[in-house]
Structure 1
Amino acid sequence: MEVYELLERALKQLSHKEVGLALGVDPKTVRRWQIRETEPKPYIADAIRQRLLPLGEPNPEPGRFSFIDLFAGIGGIRTAFEQQGGRCVFTSEWDPYARKTYAANFHDGRDHVFASDITQVHEDDVPDHDILLAGFPCQPFSIAGVSKKNALGRPHGFADKTQGTLFFDVSRIIARKKPRAFLLENVKNLVSHDKGRTFATIIDVLQNELGYQVYHRVINGKHFVPQHRERIIIVGFRDPVDFTWDGLKLPPFENAPKIGSILHREDGTEPADWPYIGGTKGKVLDKYILSDKLWDYLQNYAAKHREKGNGFGFGLVTPKDTARTLSARYYKDGSEILVSRGSRKNPRRLTPRECARVMGFSDDFRIPVSDTRAYKQFGNSVVVPVIAEVARIMVPHLLEEKKSTPAKRSRKAA
């Protein structure tokens, strides 16, 4: 049977546990299938194709522009720029589970470098590219005096200001490769971190030391998805352009989708092979419903803080609501987004597929990892439609500048 051939292909690359996670079954079940002790259900063949087997050959076309994807996570920023016709030529992500999800979702040829730790990659080994993309983590900045650095024979300038932080790896690559543009994404609090000094350092390095036109804006994912999620976007261009944020098309909040739009329909119309739903009606599995013990704890915790005048507590949502921000800690208790099942029933967590949807990923995005890993990955991701909208207004300036570059050089030579 074809299903056994597909299973063997998957097991050449993945362990029984990994295959089981992706298919929503126990590893022992996978072993029984492999030795043909039991027969997989008919939908398993399609599930293996969709979730576990390679996506096929990468697109041979060079793309309208090239980009690199640093601190890539599961590829949310990449997804947005590929929609604009870009081609990724280099990826860096240190987390092995995020790398697994990333690799399951993107066509990458032999010429594509996938580095694990960008701090260990020399900037000369990074391919040339038109745009640098980075959702870099923000670590505390320690700004030492230039005179002290000079006395010790150490570098100053941006190296002095950012050494020891992951932004340093972004800035050193920009300094060496001089891409036409960049996009950086971070939490909103980056602006106020260390009384604004961290953000001021970043802008100073990008604008005054690396010489880029820099623009930044805080955008709420709530414009596109049913989640309140504010993130700062920093974009920069190497050469003068007339970029402005005025071109952004942000749907009014009152017209934005509500949480009901991302929930499983539970009427039998969704793929029966998803590991998050079951039965003929496609009901969400019981494992996502909070236990009595956890639900009691969360209610008591919220009541205790209400008495003190605090706002701490769980976030219960109905299909007509907008959720709080999904975080990487969602796997612990799901408290920030709990789906109401009525006053007499315990609420439930979002499933990983619903988390993908609330971040703006399409339903064909593969989730080859455990629920715990998936929750962390989506909680750390970007809202894809937000980045896509920024990419939409960035790319025309990039292509215009790209076309004009030869002419600029010939005039300079003349």
Structure 2
Amino acid sequence: MLGLLCLLLAAGPTGCARQADEPRHVLTVLGPWTGREAESFGALLDRFEERNEGVRVDYQGTTATREVLLSGVLAGAPPDVAVLPVLGDLADYVQRNQLRRLDEDIVEDDEYGGPWLSQPTGMSERYWLPVKVDLKSIVWYEKGRSPGTAAREDVARWCIGMGSDATSGWPGSDWIEDILLQRSGADDYDAWATGEMAWTADPVVDAWRTWGAFMSGDDRAAETALTTDHRGPEDGNGLLFDPDRDCDLEHQGSFARSLYGDEAPRADFVASPLLLPGADGQSDVREVSGDFAAMFKESAQARALMRFLASLEAQRAWATGVDPPFFSAHRGVTQEAYPEGDTVSRRIVREFRQAERLCLDASDVMPPAIRRIFHEKVLEFLADPRQDPVRLLEQIQRVKEGLPEDTPWLRRACG
């Protein structure tokens, strides 16, 4: 009867072209990408919708993913899928039974490897997968302007900002983490990031003191960093291309090109060991970060989306779907997947592939309470970078020692 009615109405303006004008299943997705990055992710979600009739994806992008997600979880209305840059939070959600387990075959070790599939100690099931990754042991500069190794001692040349909405301070933790990694090596870094090394241990204290001495090299450097947003001025092209700032180097992840806007093609980079204060210039280990997708509400549609995001098709789309492109941890996405003329992206991929070891951002893998106080103490340290950091590190250590015994820690941070 419905088919006959559709035939009778076919000549009308509405007809039954969508006889199934039935409501589609709506998936809600929360993620950290806004602006151009959100547009790229939206294009990828469009592909998913085309392959899954009857499914619509509503994406919400925010720089305050942790706060928005926590609010939804506490209200009993989490998104179907959330993408977070912090494995420490996801491990905490697993312990609280908030995440849904993924299919066993959704990602394979031989497809990703490295640190990307790291899990908490004692956990065998998989609850998240890497959607997008970034290189953090990197220093940006303007093409045609040689950075020069003298920058190791000249803080005035560096574009540094600690501001980042609710998570201010993390750019400073990136400095400390990378200095520790490049001075003390991956084993010490891994032990510290996974809770096996005390915050008052020599490698940690040494990294803080090295950064403090560097930031003290100019009387205005620390104060300027505390009052500057890491993204640069609103509607600008990041700190590196801010005409009101006299700086030409920036220690920022590979995602920084999304901040540089129209100036992104003018940005080039060197590996951070060449320029970081006190770093071993020959170091071949690299700090990296990732955005990881996890399923908070179980459904066939949510599982299909997670499988799609892990697929080689979706991961390859990062290479050409946005300018500047995203990066993938999937071994099938080689440098040849990126446009031939995009030599910067291809070199970043080589850094991922050729590094002796890759180590996840330490604060991202730490339990939430440790990450928060780490960022707070970074800001407190910058208020007087000449101070001995031991007092601040003892405070972080006390918080660590006060954590419940069942607090989840990642098994490893370095691949």
Higher RCO (C-alpha 8 Å, min separation 6): 2
The TM-score normalised by the length of structure 2 is: 0.23
